[in-house]
Amino acid sequence: MKQLSLDNLRTFVGVIELGGYAKAGEWLGRSQPAISLQIKKLEEQLGKKLFTKVGQRHLPSADGNWLYPKAKELLALNDAIFRSVDPTPLRGRLRLGIPNEFASTLLPGLIGEFSKRYPDVSLEVTSALSRELLHPSRRNEFDLILALVNPDQQTEGELVLEDEMVWVGDPLHPANMDAISLVLAPDGCIYRSRVINHLKQQTTAWKITYTNADLTGLVAAIQQGLGITALAKSSMPANLQVLNHRNLPKLGTINICLFQLSNQHPIVSETLGNFIIHRLRAQQ
């Protein structure tokens, strides 16, 4: 018997309500290719074309409009079932530490979905460089930390994902690959260290043109043509593209790990941790 994926239906509803794959990706914390793949799978399963592209927007077709209210009903029923079987509503305050780039790409959709399902949980989110979040002096500030860890580094965190590090840039501002301009986070950033170490091993000219700890600031600089950067593939904003060129060295992989630091609200912490793990792994 055929079964519809509720995850694909939630993505379908998100594209309709937000007007496009990119905005739905931001809301759900997924890359635009991941959103496109989910819609394609849903269309193949139903044998119907669900969207028509008009400019940069994806508008529902007649079949898409027919499916939309039924998808909403299924999702509402699914969420109601889970709320009704919870023995006790989750309550409490949870302090989450998360890298800056994931705060921009993962949090918007994840926090919205989590808060809708568990409205009595208060989330306090801090975004910073992974090294700062994991510093021993800050261990008492967080219940849960998502952080980037080098593959050769020993860690007590749970491995969520081994992700590829990729070069990214703005498709409207082609980069000069003979003299590479870099847009990077400050010293202490894993991406920055990896990029510089690899570029030093080859002869291509390069320079750092802009530094900002916030991904939003880095993206704005890239879109102004100031340079390119490197990110974990799962944290790449939908409006940028992966770059491949002989002068750009392969950067290897990076581990994304989850650290449980407090037992003050263990069920709440575990629940949010599972949300994060599911969302990141679903993007692959």
What Cα–Cα distance (Å) separates residue 89 from each residue in 198, 214, 260?
49, 35, 21
Structurally, at CATH architecture level, domain 6-85 sits in Orthogonal Bundle (1.10)
φ/ψ of 5, rounded to 5, equals -85, 120
pLDDT digits (tens, 9 = 90+) for 211-255: 998 888 999 999 999 999 999 988 888 788 999 999 999 999 999
With contact defined as beta carbons under 8 Å apart, do 243 and 169 qualify? yes
Q: Of 261 and 250, which is predicted with more confidence?
A: 250
Q: Domain limits of the chain?
A: 6-85, 91-284
Neighbours of 44 (CB within 10 A): 9
Mean pLDDT (whole number) for 34-51: 90
Q: What is the DSSP letter of 163?
A: E
Instruction: Please report the sign of the dihedral spanned by the C-alpha atoms of residue 19, residue 284, residue 76, residue 269.
Output: negative
Q: Is residue 284 scored above 80 in pLDDT?
A: no
* Lowest mean pLDDT, pick from 41-45, 104-108, 135-139: 104-108
Measured CA angle at 163 (ends 158, 167), to 5 deg: 145
Spell out the residues 6+ positions from residue 202 whose beta carbon is closer than 8 angstroms to its own: 247, 249
Fold for 91-284, please state it.
D-Maltodextrin-Binding Protein; domain 2 (3.40.190)
Residue 154 pLDDT grade (very low, low, confident, very high; cuts 50, 70, 90): confident
Highest mean pLDDT among 99-103, 158-162, 204-208: 204-208
Percent of the chain with pLDDT over 70: 94
Residue 31 pLDDT grade (very low, low, confident, very high; cuts 50, 70, 90): confident
The length of the chain, given as a count of residues: 284
Highest mean pLDDT among 30-44, 88-102, 107-121: 30-44
- Residue 126 structure tokens: 């801090």
What three-state secondary structure class fits 19?
coil
Residue 153 pLDDT grade (very low, low, confident, very high; cuts 50, 70, 90): confident
Percent of the chain with pLDDT over 90: 35
pTM for the predicted model, two decimal places: 0.67
Q: Is residue 262 scored above 90 in pLDDT?
A: no
Cα gap 94→259, rounded to integer Å: 13
| Average pLDDT over the chain, rounded to an integer | 86
